[in-house]
Structure 1
Amino acid sequence: MSVFSSSRLIGKTVLITGASGGIGQATALLFAKAGSNLILLARREEALQKVAEQAAAAHKASGVVGGGKIATIKLDVSNIGAVNNLWSQIPQDLRNVDILVNNAGFVLGVERVGSISEKDIEAMFQTNVLGLIAMTQLLVKHFKEQKSGHVINIGSVAGREPYAGGSIYCATKHAVRAFTGAVLRELVDTPIRVTEIQPGMVETDFSVTRFRGDKSAADKVYEGLQPLVAEDIAEEIVWAAARPPHVNLAEVYVLPVNQASPTLNYRPGKQ
Structure 2
Amino acid sequence: MKTILITGATSGIGKSTAQLLAKQSNRIIICGRRTEVLESLKTDLSQFTEMFSLKFDIRNLEEVEAAINSLPEEWKNIDVLINNAGNAHGLDPLSAGKTDDWDSMIDGNVKGLLYVSKMIIPGMKERNSGHIVNISSVAARQTYANGVVYCATKKAVDVISEGMRIELTEFGIKITNIQPGAVETDFSMVRFKGDSEKAATVYAGYEPLKAEDIADSIAYCINAPKHVCISDMTIYPTAQAEPRTIYRK
Asked if these proteins are the same fold (TM beyond 0.5), I'd say yes
CA drift at 1:204: 0.4
Give runs of aligned pairs for residues 113-192 of structure 1, distance below 5 A: 113-192=94-173
Runs of 4 or more consecutive aligned structure 1 residues displaced over 2 Å after TM superposition? 84-88
- Farther off after superposition, 201-210 or 42-51: 42-51
Alignment of 1:44-123 (within 5 A): 44-57=34-47, 59=48, 68-123=49-104
Question: 1:163, 1:201 → 2: CA distance?
Answer: 14
CA-CA distance at 1:85 after TM superposition:
2.6
- In the alignment, is the contact (CA less than 8 A) between 2:2 and 2:26 conserved in 1? yes
Q: Which amino acid aligns with 2:50?
A: K
Shift of 1:35: 0.6
Counterpart position of 1:23? 13
SS of the residue corresponding to residue 177 of structure 2 reads strand
Residues 1:244 and 2:225 aligned together: yes
Per-residue CA shift, 1:72-100, capped at 9, x if unaligned? 11110000122123332212211111000
The alpha-carbon deviation at position 188 of structure 1 amounts to 2.4
Q: 1:261 aligns with which of 220, 237, 242?
A: 242
Whether 2:207 is the aligned partner of 1:217: answer: no
Cα RMSD for the two superposed structures: 1.0
Q: Percent identity?
A: 40
Output the CA distance in 2 between the equivalents of 1:18 and 1:225. 27
What corresponds to 1:37 in structure 2? 27
Distance 1:108 1:44 in 2: 19
- Taking the aligned partners of 2:54 and 2:120, their CA distance within structure 1 comes to 16
Q: Secondary structure at the match of 2:78?
A: coil
Residue 213 (structure 2) aligns with:
232
Q: How many angstroms does 1:213 deviate by? A: 0.2
Asked if 1 retains the 8 angstrom alpha-carbon contact of 2:55 and 2:67, the reply is no
CA contact (8 A) 1:23 1:230 kept: yes
Contact 2:3-2:79 at 8 Å conserved across structures? yes
Do the aligned residues in 2 keep the contact of 1:71 with 1:91 (CA within 8 Å)?
no
Once the two structures are superposed, residues 127-165 of structure 1 have per-residue CA deviations (whole angstroms, 9 ceiling, x without a partner) of 110010111121111100111100000000011111111
- Structure 1 stretches of 5 or more lacking a match? 1-10, 60-67
Normalized against structure 1, the TM-score is what? Answer: 0.90
2:116 and 2:173 mapped to 1: Cα distance? 15
Cα separation, 2, equivalents of 1:207 and 1:44 = 19
Gaps of 5+ in 2: none
Instruction: Find the residue that maps to 1:197 and give its secondary structure.
Output: strand
Give the length in aligned residue pairs.
249
The amino acid of 1:127's aligned partner reads G
Give the Cα–Cα distance (whole angstroms) in 1 for the partners of residues 169 and 68 of structure 2: 26
Alpha-carbon distance, 1:210 to partner: 0.4
Task: Provide the rounded CA distance (Å) in 2 between the counterparts of 1:217 and 1:168.
Answer: 20
Q: TM-score scaled by structure 2?
A: 0.97
Task: After superposition, give the CA deviation of every residue in 1:19-71 in whole Å (9 maximum; x if it has no partner).
Answer: 001100000000101110011110111111122122224x2xxxxxxxx1111
Give 2:187's aligned amino acid: F
The 10-residue stretch of structure 1 (201-210 or 185-194) with the greater mean CA deviation from structure 2: 185-194
Query: Do structure 1's residue 205 and structure 2's residue 186 form an aligned pair?
Result: yes
CA distance in 2, matches of 1:84, 1:32: 25
Moved more, 227-236 or 84-93: 84-93
Counterparts of 2:27 and 2:122, CA distance in 1:
20
Is the Cα–Cα contact under 8 Å of residues 27 and 234 in structure 1 kept in the other structure?
yes
Q: Distance in 2 between matches of 1:50 and 1:198?
A: 29
